[in-house]
C-alpha cells in the first residue's frame, strides 16, 4: 500500500513539474530583426559644419517574456557606412576616410555588436517606455551604454521600436591617433535607431 501511494505521489509531482516547465517555456519567445526594415542613422559635428549618414543592420534577435522585451543582440554592418549629406565626389571621399584606419577601420572591424544586458521599464503603466542597457563592441573595444527607447508596436508577432543614443567615439579609440581629427571633430556621435522584428 505504501509503495502504491509513493508511486502516485511521484506521478503527480512529475505531472506538475512538466506542466510548470511547459508554462515557463511558453512565456519566452524570440523575434528575428528585419534588416531590410531596420535602420541606423548617424550625425556628427565639426567646427565647420555637420555630417549625416546611415549604417545597415546585418542581423539580430530579440527575446521576450510575457511580451516584455527581455534581451537580445544586434549586429551592424560597418562596411555599409554611408554619408547622406554630400554628393560625389565629396561623398565618396568622406566615406572612404571614415572606413579607413583613421576612423572606423571597417576592413579590420567589419561588424559592430550590441548586446542587451538589461531592460528597465520607466513607467510600469506604460510598457512603451524602457531604458535599455547593454554593451557595444566596436573597433575592437567593448563599452557599456544606456539609452531610452520608445516601443511603437509589440504584438508578440511583430516588434517596432525607436531610440536616440549618443556615444563618445574616444571610448572606442576612434580617430584618436590623428591630432587633427581628435582635436577638431566633436567626439560625440548621435545615433537614431529604428528596429523592426518579426
Domains, the chain, in order of start with CATH, read 28-197 (2.40.128.110)
CA distance 34 to 49: 33
CA distance 148 to 121: 10
- Fill in the DSSP letter of residue 38: -
Single pTM value for the model: 0.84
The 3-class secondary structure across 108-120, one letter per residue, is: CCCEEEEEEEEEE
Output helix, strand, coil percentages for the chain, rounded to the nearest 5.
25, 55, 25
CA distance 66 to 156: 9
Greatest Cα pair distance in the chain = 90
CA distance 102 to 138: 14
Kindly give the confidence (pLDDT) of every residue in the chain, 198 residues in length, as a single tens digit, with 9 standing for 90 and above. 544 444 444 444 544 444 444 444 558 999 999 999 999 999 999 999 999 999 999 999 999 998 899 999 999 999 999 999 999 999 999 999 999 999 999 999 999 999 999 999 888 788 789 999 999 999 999 999 999 999 999 998 999 999 999 999 999 999 999 999 999 999 999 999 999 999
Amino acid at each position: 500500500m505504501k509503495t502504491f501511494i509513493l508511486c502516485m505521489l511521484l506521478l503527480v509531482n512529475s505531472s506538475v513539474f512538466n506542466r510548470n516547465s511547459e508554462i515557463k517555456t511558453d512565456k519566452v519567445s524570440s523575434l528575428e530583426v528585419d534588416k531590410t526594415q531596420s535602420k541606423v542613422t548617424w550625425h556628427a559635428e565639426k567646427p565647420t559644419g555637420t555630417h549625416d549618414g546611415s549604417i545597415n543592420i546585418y542581423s539580430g534577435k530579440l527575446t521576450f517574456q510575457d511580451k516584455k522585451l527581455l534581451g537580445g543582440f544586434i549586429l551592424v554592418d560597418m562596411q555599409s557606412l554611408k554619408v547622406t549629406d554630400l554628393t560625389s565626389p565629396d561623398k565618396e571621399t568622406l566615406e572612404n576616410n571614415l572606413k579607413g584606419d583613421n576612423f572606423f577601420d571597417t576592413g579590420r572591424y567589419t561588424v559592430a555588436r550590441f548586446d542587451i544586458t538589461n531592460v528597465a521599464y520607466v513607467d510600469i503603466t506604460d510598457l512603451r517606455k524602457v531604458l535599455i542597457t547593454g554593451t557595444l563592441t566596436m573597433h575592437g573595444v567593448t563599452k557599456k551604454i544606456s539609452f531610452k527607447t520608445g516601443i511603437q508596436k509589440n504584438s508578440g508577432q511583430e516588434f517596432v521600436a525607436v531610440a536616440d543614443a549618443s556615444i563618445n567615439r574616444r571610448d572606442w579609440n576612434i580617430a584618436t591617433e590623428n591630432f587633427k581629427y581628435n582635436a577638431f571633430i566633436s567626439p560625440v556621435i548621435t545615433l537614431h535607431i529604428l528596429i523592426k522584428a518579426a
